[in-house]
Amino acid sequence: MTWHRIQTMLAFLITALILCALVALNYYQNAILGYVPNFPLFILPFASVGIILVVFFVLWQNNVENERSKDEFITIVTHKFRTPLTGIKWAIEMLHNNITYQQKDEVLSNMENSNQRLMEIVDLMVGFAQFDKSMSYAYEATSLREIVD
């Protein structure tokens, strides 16, 4: 499960808990008045609506930020892939033409370099995917005096 899914699930769980608390407050408003007799009752519905709007606004902002990050990531990845793929395409087109043996060597070398760049990009992306799973913190006792000194 990705961090984004966990974060979204937690946000919806917290929203559900807040909504349940607001329903309970509105349901038990007479009991609240028994403990706080001067509490103005008209505040509860407005406070409930205000809290709900704020929670949904925060969730909406989180969703917009995630979409923007996703779009930016896709743009960068497609650009990084398109560059070596274009080099390979041009090399293949040149190989279809009548070229000398030396030119074929150069074209094949360019294809090999482009292929190597693609492999590096794929390895980097796999490394990013593994990064979240393998990341952990190493805690150790340290003297604050040594750090300050």
Specify the pLDDT at position 82. Answer: 86
pLDDT digits 0-9 by tens, 38-63: 777 677 777 777 877 887 788 788 77
- Three-state SS for the chain is CCHHHHHHHHHHHHHHHHHHHHHHHHHCHHHHHHHCCCCCCCHHHHHHHHHHHHHHHHHHHHHHHHHHHHHHHHHHHHHHHHHHHHHHHHHHHHHHCCCCHHHHHHHHHHHHHHHHHHHHHHHHHHHHHHHHHHCCCCCCCCCHHHHHC
Give pLDDT < 70 ranges for the chain: 1-4, 41, 129-139, 149
Entry pTM:
0.48
Domain residue limits, the chain:
3-132
